[in-house]
Structure 1
């Protein structure tokens, strides 16, 4: 395959071991709530500094959390703290039981009235919630913690940090350690692929009309690199600082990515263009050797662009995509 770029560096991931259970308590000792067992009263209040540079002090483990991040919502449930969640965004629909939690709207345009009615003692969000919305919620007396993970490691850090916010750090650490072990294994596979065959360029597409792709400074970019490839969009000087740059068809044809990955933000949008197979007949796209030769794949955007546990499913799938794109062999079901 042409224009493969030989790997010049090996990415290093920290090694961690999954911790699932602790030592059992004697029968004569009264059982304690999880948050009390993990976060003794002496550990509170706790003060945190978020990605906006704001210092936030929590007097005790929050019990009523509104989360405007789909990925953080999934993390809260995965670490066993779903009973703390009283509000979510509309697009937070996994796992299915989260649908029982009231929706407060979208991440960029939540209903301030709906949030106030839920009487939260903490609101979690990430990059994308407008600053004026955050400030309005803070003025209402609700502590707000916002994070902005830009790499796989930072997603893991956020999972551990959310555990500290809620006083369930042991459960959060167990979850993060398990995911970190998976990330390390996937990264090792990606490095081995790159060392043996070079790094192909991958164009990660999230919208077709207009075309938006994953750029630099986002955990999707890191995921692609860990999988043994290079993010094609980062090879264009004009996109060097954009997380989600828009590209013209002419730029894509000139870029000539070795592999195309379609992660449409809306499933119906992919259906409207006729699915992946239709790209062979679309102007511009049909000129790409990667499309002509079948090196075009789909990946679940709910896995790949959310800062939560399912990102690691996407990382493992991305390794399979890169391997398939290089070898020509289909991905195993």
Structure 2
């Protein structure tokens, strides 16, 4: 009798099927959660969704601004290969070189056993690397908004915390550079040459965006494209108040037709950037705030006190 009552009591109190199922699902979730969290999915600038089993620990970069972004996120140690032009931060100078974005050494890249390769959308290496089974993420920042987007995307790829804060710091540095500009430099007309040719930074470029945020005017309109090749005589007619060039361009400035008569050159209203400063200015990446400061210092020291009279 007692045994019968005990059996009925246990049968009445035992967990039902639904409770067992819930318990089983909870156990499965606890077991699988770390694996699910490790999954990384990023869509690159070519619209390709790249799926990795876990955040990449071995990265090859074929674009300086992308390598700089990885480092700005505190992950320099993950870079096992970089392109020949990457030279900042200094710790990357000892990282193996794998050619350039347009002429990469595929064999060297494969030998480095990367978990992922970061490259520009214009790089020729993407298809070949994918065919070899190496994940590729193509990203190419061309505007301020692109720099923010790429930084956040690489942050998601690397699973780092709060990449937005890094962007906010960059953006704040650009704002600080703009606020530092003295009144006499505001509104001046500027010509920025990015390489001999001459090739200039137009209003549509990320450098043009920086100039706009500094409160000065770019003589190269957006309609000409981000980095147009110009006729030297066009620049003479544009008659900028301030000229900004790199060391390579400065060599023959006065030999260009009509340039010797330009008031900006005759009045000393021009800046010649060092190679290091040129690198900062020409790379749309995490040093964009530093680039704005370089331009602001140039304009503060070289802008004419009276733009109309170029004094």
**TM-score for both structures, normalised by structure 1:** 0.73
Higher Cα Rg, which structure: 2
2:106 matched to which residue of 1? Answer: 112
Residue aligning to 1:83:
77
CA deviation vs aligned residue, 1:276-318 (integer Å, no higher than 9, x gap): xx63465322121111111111232110111233221110121
Q: Deviations over 1:187-232 (max 9, x none)?
A: 4456x85xx8752221111223x21111243211111111211221
Match of 1:178 in 2: 169
Superposition CA RMSD, Å: 2.5
Aligned residue among 143, 147, 152 for 1:151: 143
Q: What is the CA distance between 1:87 and its match in structure 2?
A: 0.7
Contact 2:120 2:139 in 1 (8 A): yes
Question: Residue 298 of structure 2 corresponds to which residue in structure 1?
Answer: 321
1:166 aligns with 2:158: yes
Q: Tell me, yes or no, if structure 1 residue 261 matches structure 2 residue 244.
A: yes
Check 1:311–1:198 CA distance in 2 against 1; reply closer, same or farther (3 A cut): closer
TM-score normalized with structure 2 length? 0.78
Query: How many residue pairs get matched?
Result: 270
Q: Do residues 246 (structure 1) and 229 (structure 2) align?
A: yes
- Superposed CA deviations along residues 72-112 of structure 1, whole A, max 9, x for unmatched, are 21222232211111110011111221122111001211111
Mapped contact 1:203–1:231 kept (Cα < 8 A): yes
1:72/1:307 contact within 8 Å kept: no
For 1:135 and 1:63, how far apart are their aligned partners in 2?
22
Equivalent position to 1:212, from 188, 196, 199? 199
Q: 2:203 touches 2:226 (CA, 8 Å); kept in 1?
A: yes
Give the C-alpha shift of residue 321 in structure 1. 2.4
Structure 1 residue 221 corresponds to structure 2 residue 204: no
User: After superposition, where does 1:48-63 map in structure 2 within 5 Å?
Assistant: 48-63=42-57
Deviates more, 1:219-228 or 1:61-70: 219-228
Q: 1:31 maps to which residue?
A: none
Moved more, 181-190 or 78-87: 181-190
Q: Mean Cα displacement is larger for which, 210-219 or 63-72?
A: 210-219
Is the counterpart of residue 99 in structure 1 residue 86 in structure 2?
no
Whether the 8 Å contact between 1:229 and 1:322 is mirrored in structure 2 is no
Report matched runs for 1:183-194 at 5 Å. Answer: 183-189=174-180, 193=183
Judged with a 3 Å threshold, the aligned counterparts in structure 2 of structure 1 residues 327 and 291 are, in CA distance, closer, same or farther, namely closer
Kept in 2, the 8 Å contact 1:156–1:180? The answer is no
Report which of the two has the higher share of helix.
Answer: 2
Instruction: State how far apart, in whole Å, the 1-side matches of 2:246 and 2:138 are.
Output: 25
Aligned partners of 2:269 and 2:304 also within 8 Å: no
Q: CA deviation at 1:68?
A: 0.8
Question: SS state of the match for residue 136, structure 1?
Answer: helix
Shift of 1:41: 5.0
CA distance in structure 2 between the aligned counterparts of 1:122 and 1:50, rounded to whole angstroms:
12
